[in-house]
Amino acid sequence: MFRPKIPAMPQPTGFVTPPAVIQHTPAAPAPMAPAPDPARPTVQLTPGTVLALVGGGTAVVLVVGAVLVSMLLAVAIAGASVAICALVIRSLINADAKRH
């Protein structure tokens, strides 16, 4: 059941030709063509664009950090409120058990 099945290799039918022998003959080096001009112009970074990029990146990092910190704070507040509720309920159950 778990033995691999090895496929049987069929024998070639018809005419079998031996591989062709290709001999490499050194040719004269082709003349180097000048590189074509790029299709799009290169981007020139001026001090104003660099400042805008740095400012935009800083703003993105600050916004993402604020969102992550607020989510962490929300989880911490929810956990603390659940813990306080558990303490209050346990206190009420223990007080009710001591009275009877």
What Å distances lie between residue 4 and 1, 7, 11, 60, CA to CA?
8, 9, 22, 56
**One-letter amino acid of 69:** V
Q: How far apart are CA 84 and CA 91, in angstroms?
A: 11
Q: How far apart are CA 66 and CA 74, in angstroms?
A: 12
What's the chain's average pLDDT?
Answer: 84
Q: How far apart are CA 85 and CA 81, in angstroms?
A: 6
DSSP reduced 3-state for 55: helix
Q: How big is the CA angle at 48 (ends 44 and 49), to the nearest 5 degrees?
A: 50
Predicted confidence at residue 43, as pLDDT, reads 77
Q: How far apart are CA 64 and CA 72, in angstroms?
A: 12
Convert the pLDDT of each residue in 8-38 to its tens digit: 776 666 666 766 777 777 666 666 766 666 6
Predicted confidence at residue 1, as pLDDT, reads 65
Q: How far apart are CA 12 and CA 10, in angstroms?
A: 6
